[in-house]
Structure 1
């Protein structure tokens, strides 16, 4: 049996050797190709393994054991990342690790060089690198971001993303990082103010907006923007409201007349008029009318300005013009109860009791908590019953 097998082997050798020599070049090419493929795959796997092991060391050094965060330990981690990059030079995780380790050793220029070569400024990458670095050394973190030219606005963007689906503390952390990287960036302080405002933290919001107003660099907001928000905080968040400060900052906003959007401008003129109405409506009627008209010219759909203007017209005895504003307000927003209520006031003033009664009913149907409409309904019901 063995002889037979050997015989067959010899026959195969006799037949195939000439063929092998004939196609040797192509066979070598194929073998070389698969060898490179296997080497590349194994190199990639080895690099991944080195990177994962090194990340464990890095996390242990940064987060768990401050006492081992000596220069020797950092050099050890750097060496491990270098070995990962030796096996796979384009391994992004290893490059990010090298950036972190070099920056935390004070070698900011070398870290910056790798970061620029890496060329990745995606928000999640910035967030992950900054989180690790800041835990170990906040100052080195700021030095690094300033060196590579990452602006405060990038951290504002990270904060905005965090605000969409993350807790308050995460967004606050990134906005504060933005103010540290670029202290004179108004947008960073403004975003911080918006965050505090949403959480009813009036004093912190006011301080953040005040700092924004003193900044020199404005990117996505106008110079009037911080003053507009400060006005709203003093008018609506403080209890009791600080009407004097609110009016002063609204004055400043409208004097600068540098708004980010038409909506912001219209809101600012309206709230300035609203502030005056709360201070003394009778004494400020003419100014309230002018400010409300200005807001409506900027944004004809500004329902609050139309209602306030209508009320001011009523106080001046201009009932036809008042009616026009309330009707337009209802057309803009059919579910705004105060527009029905004040239109009912116009009809009641004219003596058109039935029409006024129906408008008060509509106002109360939209907003059952509108006690003013309920009170007028009771009065008019008595009048109707007495006829």
Structure 2
């Protein structure tokens, strides 16, 4: 959202970002972009389903206080946020885009949120009814676009715009990398999982592969970098297994992202097989931008898998197949020429898509569906309007 908001602003749009949280919460200033919070000073989040409902209510109340915008963009966290887009579009008489990063409520069982069949059916009806009333639905992968179309969202309104790597990420030479030096990695082949430890990102096979290689190839090192709701379970397993070849590290500052991603030789991404078409792990884009190949523990038919296999910059392993994962890691660690070729292909694949290209696609879409104040039918191809409201957690 930050990347797009800044680029919309530089093209003459007035951008408001509506987010959950205390109204006095600090945020990074971005020229031409206003950030509005939905909560109260000192407010705190309530966990679980009640917290999601409270978040939606707070975002709706805050949205109603905003001045009119020409386009509304809803995202997908908190779940069901898309349901607020069409009512806000009617209130303002403006265009509505839903930017789908995760498909809810279908994803809820995958992240172990248990609802009755009746509740799931009601939420699914609400979600699809909301998406069908949007002027456009942006999917972040062809697999997601296909699922949306199967669910009944008009194909003419679905636009696929993949996510991109953080523009600050660039390849950093392996030798002399300050993070490698600080961690004392030396010349050890290093594998990293860097990002969100979510409940839809199963990592059991990573820990099993690390335990296997701790015996067979003790010089191979694993870095687990990040946070998330699944981290507590991971740390508990690490304490129990006492693996000497695994380091768990916190989120790294954005300014250090290139160095952090470049500290590894090979990256990992994970995705529950049941989530195919419901999400696309965006950490792959960061790994490729750092010039590092990536192994996806996930389904072979999704957009992420195709990105890796079609460009020769990674492999796909079934989510629970620790034996195969260890074999792939050793293939890279034991064959420097093979690994160098994969690194070159990773950098080439990353160059195919950027934040600027994605912004051009979003700008064209927003201009096509925007409705200025007191307009009649939407105008396609007109000069850009001047205001966009984007909502998310």
Q: Normalised by the size of structure 1, how large is the TM-score? A: 0.22
Higher RCO (Cα < 8 Å, 6 or more apart): 2
Asked which structure has the greater CA Rg, the reply is 1
Q: Which has the higher strand share?
A: 2
Q: Which has the higher helix share?
A: 1
Q: Normalised by the size of structure 2, how large is the TM-score? A: 0.22
